[in-house]
Amino acid sequence: MQRSMTVTYEVGDNLYVNLTNRCPCACVFCIRTHDDGAYGSDPLWLEHEPTFAEIRASFEARDMSRYREIVFCGYGEPLMRFALVCEVARWLREQYPGKPIRLNTNGLCELYAPQEALADGTGAAEKLAGCIDKVSVSLNAGDAACYDRVTCPSGHPTNAYETMLRFAAGCKARGIATAFTVVDVLTPEETAQAVRQGESMGIPVHVRAYID
Ligand code: SF4
């Protein structure tokens, strides 16, 4: 496994942000099981989790006018550093006004994010609505059994699927442009069921190809 301090990296005409390698899931399709980077990036396994100052320096070293969107994604679940995502996103809004900010997440922060970040009684979706424009939530399945098989949330909580759905619904309700993703490792019937789940919530579902 190769490590680096790749905090930001280009994917197409977007700039992606890599804040952590922590993730409570072990998705069967996770690129981290068979690569060190993504889309031709340098290794995304971090030497250490970047500080706010290191993140800011990574943005300031770039010509930000070249990028269409900023995307919190990386080689881990960004919301394992929930408070930092909000802090960085607020700073990005000030520095690069009008630049859309997207978050790619497993939607399980209410189960796994450091709870002090959520302890003031303001829900996760409401906090994110103040600093994020778009969210892409890993739907992964059309029911809880399929979700648990594909996503493998740590500790095997019985409510992971419903927690993820509730998070996505909360984001949509608070005005964040919300989308679901499904990776094409499901059967056609399972994929159709997942798409119906998204449609029943008024949230579009993007089925993407598995990256091998
Ligand atoms: S949530 Fe993302 S980082 Fe975590 S195991 Fe699944 S695909 Fe990998």
pLDDT in tens, 123-166: 999 999 989 999 999 999 999 999 999 999 999 999 999 999 99
Looking at residue 63, its pLDDT comes to 97
- What mean pLDDT value characterizes the chain? 95
Two tokens, residue 163: 């927690």
Tell which atom from ligand 1 comes closest to the C-alpha of 104: 2
Two tokens, residue 165: 């759905």
Q: Say whether pLDDT at 116 is over 80.
A: no
Could you tell me the pTM of the whole model? Answer: 0.96
**CATH 3.40.50.300 for the 3-208 domain, yes or no:** no
Q: Residue 115 — pLDDT band, cuts 50, 70, 90?
A: confident
What is the distance between the alpha carbons of residues 137 and 151, in angstroms, rounded to a whole number?
12
Tell which atom from ligand 1 comes closest to the C-alpha of 76: 3
Among 124, 107, 82, which Cα is nearest to 160's?
A: 107
Integer-rounded Cα radius of gyration of the chain? 16
What is the distance between the alpha carbons of residues 173 and 20, in angstroms, rounded to a whole number?
28
β partners of residue 137: 105, 180
What is the distance between the alpha carbons of residues 171 and 154, in angstroms, rounded to a whole number?
23
Is the Cβ–Cβ distance between 131 and 101 less than 8 Å? yes
Q: Say whether pLDDT at 22 is over 90.
A: yes
CA distances from 204 to 59, 90, 175, 176, 177 (A): 30, 26, 14, 13, 10
pLDDT in tens, 180-193: 999 999 999 999 99
Gap from CA of 198 to ligand 1 centroid (Å): 20
Q: Which of 25, 105, 208, 212 to mutate to test the pocket of ligand 1 (most atoms within 8 A of CB)?
A: 25
Tell which atom from ligand 1 comes closest to the C-alpha of 23: 4
Is the Cβ–Cβ distance between 97 and 70 less than 8 Å? no
pLDDT in tens, 29-47: 999 988 888 888 889 999 9
Looking at residue 211, its pLDDT comes to 76
Write the DSSP assignment of 109-142 as a string of letters: HHHHS-GGGGTTS--HHHHHHTT-SEEEEE---S
Among 57, 42, 60, 55, which Cα is nearest to 4's?
A: 42
Q: Say whether pLDDT at 212 is over 80.
A: no
Gap from CA of 20 to ligand 1 centroid (Å): 12
Pocket of ligand 1 (CB under 6 A): 23, 25-27, 30, 32, 76-77, 106, 138
